[in-house]
């Protein structure tokens, strides 16, 4: 099935939101610049439109399992995003952590960087998953909302805790209970990203910008403020500023957040809603302050010392990319052992030093401090305890909510 067939069958506001993300938002960037987290994908209704019924999963996951050849075939097929693993400085085809895994276990990793976008990848694997066939992959990395969709459709295998002793022990508490996989029965995080407030202190005349309220109301910033074109990130930050939890908000709360943003649009306080293109304008001072992605700010701050970031008192939203074993994978145990391998603090530190994104592994900071002190000291990579206490996730949406909310957001931003 072609990608345009998938998006063409989506409700119009959802399709537009995905296209916006792909062309100017997170989906338009490499992993080195920013974690991909598009906001929409084809749901069960889309499957029906394509003539592919959703799979049914069992309570144990046995319905999606296949004979496991891990013991006789020492291999694991791993699909990930480009530039989303540690790379040897002399040979970009070599990854030290994968070599260490093979040495420790005797299991060879066939590593493929073929996840360029959640929706596009879903289009690749959906026909096999829906028809009960092996995708040829034993492990894949998908953003939280897409991981949730595969779990809901019964296309992810339940993990065996006997093979995940490090993961169970070392997973940070704040990653343990997403609403789409409350007990981490099917997934473990690979990495995460933070949404924060950023400003150019030269452009603000030295004035600190510390809250979303300031972005929306401060007359000194009028016309020099941007918000993100990703609905979950922008609305999530406004909900927090309104005292609402993005993990528990109601439709009325959402409407109130949209109204709050609309007032700032009408008054021309907000200049525009952007994808990744805010970076250049923030660095040049053309905009003074914005809602920004933490992955961008690491490089922006390295290039321009005038750029600052702030975690608002009300908190911030974050998302994760996650490791899953797809239905009918042929090497499930080997894949579980690879997941578990990355939950050793030393290995997690090597990965974090290589990609520069938030690690979900407890104990990684101490290991990273010895390996790469600058990265270990960066709160955009290793959040402080105070920051970690303020993180919030945007709750899962029903199909009807997603269409309704994206429609309202699209009208707000003029997309």
**Tens of pLDDT, residues 173-199:** 989 999 999 999 999 999 998 899 999
For the chain, the average pLDDT equals 86
pLDDT value at 94 more than 90: no
d(C-alpha 357, C-alpha 190), whole Å: 10
Q: What is the pLDDT of residues 16-48, one digit of tens each?
A: 555 555 555 554 544 434 433 333 333 334 333
Question: What residues are paired with 137 via a beta bridge?
Answer: none
**Rounded to 5 degrees, what angle do the CA atoms 138, 143, 147 make?**
60
Between the alpha carbon of residue 277 and those of residues 24, 227, 229, 286, the distances in Å are: 7, 11, 11, 12
- Please list, residue by residue across 174-203, b when 16 or more beta carbons sit within 10 angstroms of its beta carbon and e when fewer do: bbeebebbeebebbbbbbbbbbbbbbbbeb
Percent of the chain with pLDDT over 90: 66
Query: For residues 329 and 150, is the Cβ–Cβ distance under 8 A?
Result: no
Identify the three-state secondary structure at position 185.
coil
- For residue 58, what are its two tokens? 């069992």
d(C-alpha 199, C-alpha 201), whole Å: 6
Mean pLDDT value across residues 352-358 = 89
What DSSP line would sit under 308-331, residue for residue?
Answer: EEE--TT-EEEEEEEEE-BTT-S-
pLDDT value at 205 more than 90: yes
Q: What is the pLDDT of residues 323-345, one digit of tens each?
A: 999 999 999 999 999 999 999 99
- For residue 195, what are its two tokens? 């949404």
Please tell me the least confidently modeled range out of 76-80, 122-126, 208-212, 256-260.
Answer: 122-126
Mean pLDDT value across residues 115-122 = 81
Please enumerate in sequence order all residues whose Cβ is within 8 A of that of 162, keeping only pairs 6 or more positions apart, or say none. none
CA dihedral for 26, 31, 36, 42, sign (positive or negative) = positive
Write phi, then psi, for 35 (nearest 5 degrees): -65, 135
Number of C-alpha atoms within 13 angstroms, CB side, residue 351?
A: 26
Q: What is the pTM of this model?
A: 0.75
Q: What is the pLDDT of residues 142-165, one digit of tens each?
A: 988 889 889 989 999 999 999 999
Mean pLDDT value across residues 346-375 = 94
């Amino acid at each position: 099935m072609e990608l345009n067939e998938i998006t063409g069958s989506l409700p119009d506001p959802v399709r537009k939101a995905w296209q916006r993300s792909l062309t100017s938002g997170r989906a338009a960037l490499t992993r080195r610049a920013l974690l991909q987290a598009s906001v929409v994908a084809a749901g069960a209704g889309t499957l029906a439109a394509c003539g592919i019924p959703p799979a049914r999963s069992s309570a144990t996951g046995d319905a999606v399992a296949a004979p496991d050849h891990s013991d006789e075939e020492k291999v694991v097929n791993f699909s990930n995003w480009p530039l989303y693993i540690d790379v040897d400085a002399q040979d970009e085809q070599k990854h030290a952590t994968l070599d260490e895994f093979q040495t420790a276990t005797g299991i060879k990793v066939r590593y493929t960087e073929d996840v360029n976008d959640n929706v596009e990848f879903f289009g690749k694997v959906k026909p096999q998953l829906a028809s009960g066939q092996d995708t040829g992959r034993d492990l894949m990395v998908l953003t939280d909302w897409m991981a949730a969709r595969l779990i809901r459709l019964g296309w992810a295998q339940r993990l065996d805790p006997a093979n995940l002793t490090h993961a169970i022990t070392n997973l940070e508490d704040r990653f343990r209970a997403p609403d789409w996989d409350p007990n981490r029965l099917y997934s473990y995080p690979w990495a995460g990203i933070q949404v924060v407030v950023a400003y150019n202190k030269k452009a603000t005349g030295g004035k600190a910008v510390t809250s979303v309220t300031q972005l929306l109301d401060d007359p000194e910033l009028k016309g020099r403020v941007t918000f993100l074109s990703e609905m979950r990130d922008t609305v999530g930050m406004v909900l927090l500023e309104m005292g609402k939890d993005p993990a528990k908000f109601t439709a009325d709360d959402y409407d109130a957040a949209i109204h709050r943003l609309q007032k700032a649009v009408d008054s021309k306080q907000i200049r525009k809603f952007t994808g990744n293109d805010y970076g250049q304008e923030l660095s040049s001072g053309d905009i003074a302050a914005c809602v920004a992605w933490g992955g961008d700010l690491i490089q922006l701050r390295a290039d321009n010392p005038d750029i600052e970031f702030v975690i608002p008192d009300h908190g911030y939203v974050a998302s994760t990319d996650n490791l899953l074993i797809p239905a009918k994978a042929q090497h499930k145990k080997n894949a579980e052992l690879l997941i578990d391998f990355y939950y050793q603090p030393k290995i997690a530190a090597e990965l974090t030093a290589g990609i520069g994104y938030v690690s979900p592994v407890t104990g990684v900071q101490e290991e990273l401090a010895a390996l790469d002190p600058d990265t270990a000291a960066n709160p955009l990579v290793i959040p402080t305890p105070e920051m970690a206490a303020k993180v919030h996730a945007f709750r899962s949406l029903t199909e009807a909510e997603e269409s309704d909310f994206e429609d309202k957001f699209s009208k707000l931003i003029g997309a």
